[in-house]
Structure 1
């Protein structure tokens, strides 16, 4: 079995020597500059899959499609005081905007303080079609906060965007590959060479949700001429025909059925057992409960029960036992599919604390915030909204944010707890 080393953007200070013993490739020596580098079968880096597509009326002037799905109206207030929204869940900080620096700051700080190593961002390319341009802008904004927190990032590209642009005559069939090459060139020039970008064995990774449009020979064209051609990872049933380097797993739902714990665990184990043939990126998830049927879009993909956190716990354990070089948590904030681990009104901090405890159990050297500290970013967010017209108070809150980024939690708490929180 090939044992891979994972370098999440840090330089390797010594050469890697490999020797074969009983047909097993064994890593003999690897000195890395950071604890974020890991070897398979030891503590694996944990990254969260992030959706940067939310728009709110207070920030963007209107409620975006991912909060409404064309059917729900956030201007309507439900009996519990929450806005109507296209989700079975509700963010603890309320409906936010993915271009709001206060929201991005809050989320990235929560990740950092929980010990999460990085973010895999769901990205729709660089075209100004539908909300793709806004998603691109939001992703660039998010990356700034990710790097400020000392985290890593990678991209999950949605090549279905090309199909939608073709269907709507935004581009021609002849321009499809050219448009893809422009996307890859932009990635190469701006992100793939970034020190903070996730790399496996020195080579950047690029997840593709599918692929859903391009074919094997076209992917080769897209990668041609790049200074740092990425390793491509797709979904299990599509990656081989596309000629990708490996696959990434996702919550295994299909057919609109409820998938039992035995069923989804069996499916994951089957895929993990293939890791000797091709690299696999492991997945962990809290459950799956989409809103698509209620939104009138199409039938539900199916569901996986959360089981009071057991699903997240068990999928993390399976991922840790696999030969995957990293663990992707699906997802931080896909409210439409009900796979969120960010703090929400239903479960509070349960999922985030479980991830934090898992990370600490895998690596005793990891230093994370206390459970009490973990509540500070949301308090910071709420206080910023509460005091946004008070320049002097905002300066103090910016200082508290700087303390949080510097892991000086007591100093941040002293400032944040000096302000009362008003009911929202």
Structure 2
């Protein structure tokens, strides 16, 4: 006897298959942007602010940025701490090599190199820094600290890009060299002035660079995000010095809110610092808070809270800003303690799952 096919069963199976296919499609539609975002996030970087303005009588004919150093008492008139080995010259290749080796060993991936204009000591050091960083697999980008006019800012950026933009060691974002600005840019030119300077740059080098500006509050992040590719805070001493009833809660909430406010930028950043004390600077009139290092715990606590906020990049203030006592470079007071902390925390940051 011929059996009549059970078409209703086939229809049920087909409908069940269609439902599964629809569910899969809907699930993919929801999760695909998230996967795409995860894939598109910039490679994590640990970047340290670096200063190449130091000079010695032996090499440069003067003590640049070392005010009346005394090697006998190990004192510098305008710096609270004293570097291991004494004052050095930033144009000395052996010094640069030693610093790159220390930075690499600390798990730091790159340097934000203070740059003060064409012909300045920092300008002369910049190519040496790029070459040395390349030997250690490190990245470098300029930290432009001068901003007199719209024309001068554009000219400085184009000068740096024209001379060094193709160097393998220049820090990239989206495959383009990164330029970072100190807040003097916004203090001097404002958002409109920067937009005009950027338009001048883009006219000669269309979409060739990525620009990171400064923001000191969440409100400034919101206001400045449209005119920069990303933002950062340098002056963390003001935040870290605030008296709060529950510092652990503050740290967690501060970094969480800070990184969240940057959503939509090409990269999110969080800044940590080990300490701060600029009271010995003779020409600094504006009072700034002192951040005591203690036994190194505050630095570690900032690191932990910053990592928990899940930024793409972490900035460290600083490798060698001796005037403000924010350095992690080895000192007679603290040895390599801060470098050791960076090595440990950098490994945790780069291994964190998010």
| Fold match by TM threshold 0.5 | yes
Q: What is the alpha-carbon distance in structure 1 between the residues aligned to residue 74 and residue 348 of structure 2?
A: 36
Correspondence for 2:66: 67
Correspondence for 2:110: 118
Moved more, 264-273 or 117-126: 264-273
Correspondence for 2:101: 109
Q: Which residue of 167, 188, 209 corresponds with 1:213?
A: 188
Q: Residues 220 and 350 (structure 1 numbering): CA distance in 2 closer, same or farther, change over 3 Å? A: same
Correspondence for 2:215: 236
Q: Which residue of 208, 214, 230 corresponds with 1:246?
A: 230
Give 1:28 deviation, angstroms: 7.8
User: What SS does the corresponding residue of 2:312 show, helix, strand or coil?
Assistant: coil
Correspondence for 2:202: 223
Correspondence for 1:281: 269
> How do 1:2-401 and structure 2 match up within 5 A?
21=30, 25-27=34-36, 39=41, 44-64=44-64, 66-68=65-67, 73-74=68-69, 76=70, 81-126=73-118, 128=119, 133-160=120-147, 162=148, 176-210=149-183, 211=185, 212-214=187-189, 215=193, 216-226=195-205, 229-237=208-216, 240-241=223-224, 243-254=227-238, 261=247, 266-278=253-265, 279-292=267-280, 295-363=282-350
User: What SS does the corresponding residue of 1:301 show, helix, strand or coil?
Assistant: coil
Q: Which runs of 5+ in 1 are unaligned?
A: 1-18, 31-37, 163-175, 365-424
Q: Alpha carbon RMSD of aligned pairs, Å?
A: 3.0
Once the two structures are superposed, residues 278-303 of structure 1 have per-residue CA deviations (whole angstroms, 9 ceiling, x without a partner) of 343221211222235x5243133212
Give 1:264 deviation, angstroms: 5.9
Give 1:227 deviation, angstroms: 5.3
Give 1:110 deviation, angstroms: 0.9
Question: Is contact 1:330-1:339 (8 Å) kept?
Answer: yes
Q: TM-score, normalised by structure 1?
A: 0.65
Once the two structures are superposed, residues 110-162 of structure 1 have per-residue CA deviations (whole angstroms, 9 ceiling, x without a partner) of 11222321111111121x4xxxx2110022222221112121111111133x2
Q: What is the alpha-carbon distance in structure 2 between the residues aligned to residue 284 and residue 290 of structure 1?
A: 17
Once the two structures are superposed, residues 290-336 of structure 1 have per-residue CA deviations (whole angstroms, 9 ceiling, x without a partner) of 235x5243133212222321222122222322342211111000011
Once the two structures are superposed, residues 240-267 of structure 1 have per-residue CA deviations (whole angstroms, 9 ceiling, x without a partner) of 3582222112243349966664556654
User: What SS does the corresponding residue of 2:36 show, helix, strand or coil?
Assistant: strand
Answer with 1 or 2: which has the greater Rg: 2
Q: What is the alpha-carbon distance in structure 2 between the residues aligned to residue 354 and residue 254 of structure 1?
A: 22
Q: Give the number of aligned pairs.
A: 310
Question: Is contact 1:256-1:301 (8 Å) kept?
Answer: no
Q: What is the alpha-carbon distance in structure 1 between the residues aligned to residue 237 and residue 344 of structure 2?
A: 27
Q: Residues 84 and 187 (structure 1 numbering): CA distance in 2 closer, same or farther, change over 3 Å? A: closer
Question: Is contact 2:150-2:196 (8 Å) kept?
Answer: no
Question: Is contact 1:124-1:159 (8 Å) kept?
Answer: yes
Q: What is the alpha-carbon distance in structure 2 between the residues aligned to residue 255 and residue 359 of structure 1?
A: 22
Q: What is the alpha-carbon distance in structure 1 between the residues aligned to residue 188 and residue 50 of structure 2?
A: 22
Question: Is contact 1:289-1:304 (8 Å) kept?
Answer: yes
